[in-house]
Amino acid sequence: MPPPGFVARAAAVTAGLSAAGSVLGLVRDQVIARFFGAGADSDAFLVAWTVPELAATVLIEDAMALLLVPAFSAALAKGGAGPLVRGTLPRLAALLAAATAALLAAAPLVVRLLAPGLADPRLAVTCTRLTAATILTFGLAGYLSAALRAHRRFLPPAAVYVAYNTGIVGTLLALHGRWGVRSAAAGVAAGGALMVLVQLPSFVRVLRSGAPGAQGPAPVPGRSDARAGARARAEAGDDTHPRPGEPPASGPGDLGAGGRVRLGMALVVPVVVFAVARQAQVLVERFFAAGLPAGAISHLNYAQKVAQLPMVLSLMVCTVTFPVVARALAEGDRERARQRVERDLTLACVVVLLGTAYVVACAPQIVSTLFQRGAFDTGDTAATAAVMRVYALGLLGQSLVGALIRPYFSAARPTWYPVAAMAAGLGLTVLVDGAAVAAWGAYGIAAGNAAGISLTAVVLLRGLPARAVPVRVPALTAAMSRYVLAAAAATGAGWCTTRLLPGAPAALAAAACCLTVPLAFAAAAAAVGAPVRSLPHAA
């Protein structure tokens, strides 16, 4: 067991560095907007950036972590991670290098598939080749992150996006005058290398030490107790898991002959498919936006990056509290897990809806304050703000999907239900985009995104009681509905605030809304009887 308070401190460090990475990401977007505006050049870069975005989801975030963290934890429990590293790292590096070479060769085909409507794809092809190295560097960064987390070293993995965005911004500032938008692509490659370098010293040290720390093998929040959770469910009468006294079902961290880890592909594949399907929303957007006038992809990108900040903040709450849920499930305390998940979902709903109200009310002021300088003009501000308001309609769905997926994949058995939910949402996104893009352009694409992710959230919430944690869906839905009403009132208050300051600088109007929107949200929530601390107990 870790020392008291260790998990909370580690989660707090992770949340803090994640916030720093998000702020640097915003700075990165400001620099790109200042130098290149929203036009054909920035569109070409964003098409090329699609591959690194997908690679980050699969190789750094959920998919790689859910595969390798349990494997390293099992290896440590058997005495050390050295054999696992020697058996897997060279092969993984060779596979990633081959994939990088394949992308370099196939860059023209990839660009045609991602954005068939680009008038001149040559710049996008060049940028794609510059960013191709991220397949190798992101994969290595994800591997190092998994190893370090299993050794209870959380600081270097949490710093990867700080390093990544620092590399992009630094390269842009140094090379934009000579290389143009290609400097952004080169910055992505440099940032990927920094992701590896920021973790490599700690990785070497823990391998040399041969032990995770004085307290013994490192537990992995949300995963290390998976077998204990399986035994608890067996005692509760779940016949799909072993009874007490029987060996637990093999998982992704079980060791086989010769000390090699048998990775449970039945557990891993659904996670990978879900991660790819969720990221495919970006692919769908850029596919349909490629045929729109120059700048449409850039407007969509800037709008999405800013609009999703409330979602990121809301999920930090779940990141900090998730170990509590995992521990409760591991101990078979489903009631405590239910209470924690319900509180987390309610709090995430409050945070993201408050942010949604602010974004919808003040979108032009936000975009003007952040981006309107250099090549990013007033027309770009108006277009981006309008798209951002449409995107914001799906923020509650985005936040709920991010929060709900954790308890689903904390189970010790494979589940394809989240993949089916994501497929349904992605299908709706494709249908709405295809039907609306001709008439409404980028607004129709943003509407498809909001509709699809909202459907996924509804399906995941409906299925959670039977498949993971027995939350009270009717009570949650009633509470969320009240908060939606409060958000609508807060949006109106923010809109009125901006209208009362017609000649004020955009930054001043946005700052004024920082006061009026939360106050109006709190007052409206109290007026409609939204729960303050927790959901009411069942009768």
Mention every residue, 6+ apart, whose C-beta is less than 8 A from residue 265. Answer: none
Q: Alpha-carbon Rg of the chain, whole angstroms?
A: 23
pLDDT at 213: 42
Handedness of CA 519, 520, 521, 523 (dihedral sign): positive
Pairing of β 254-255 and β 261-262: antiparallel
pLDDT at 61: 73
pLDDT at 230: 41
CA distances from 450 to 247, 288, 339, 445 (A): 45, 15, 28, 9
Structure tokens at 2: 């870790």
Q: What share of the chain is helix, strand, coil (3-state, %, to 5)?
A: 75, 0, 20
| Three-state SS at 474 | helix
pLDDT at 539: 36
Handedness of CA 463, 317, 273, 425 (dihedral sign): positive
Structure tokens at 14: 């992770």
pLDDT at 63: 66
pLDDT at 231: 41
Cα 486–Cα 478–Cα 521 angle in degrees, nearest 5: 15
Spans of the chain, pLDDT less than 50: 1, 212-263, 538-539
What backbone phi and psi angles, to 5 degrees, belong to 459? -65, -40
Structure tokens at 495: 């809109």
| Three-state SS at 239 | coil
Q: Are 182 and 130 in contact (CB under 8 A)?
A: yes
Handedness of CA 354, 360, 363, 364 (dihedral sign): negative
Q: How far is the C-alpha of 451 from the C-alpha of 80, rounded, in Å? A: 47
Q: From the centroid of its chain, how far is CA 152? A: 22
What backbone phi and psi angles, to 5 degrees, belong to 262? -90, 105
Q: Are 498 and 507 in contact (CB under 8 A)?
A: no
Q: How far is the C-alpha of 71 from the C-alpha of 264, rounded, in Å? A: 9
CB neighbours (10 Å) of residue 196?
20
Return the HEC string of 92-130. HHHHHHHHHHHHHHHHHHHHHHHCCCCCCCHHHHHHHHH
pLDDT at 226: 40
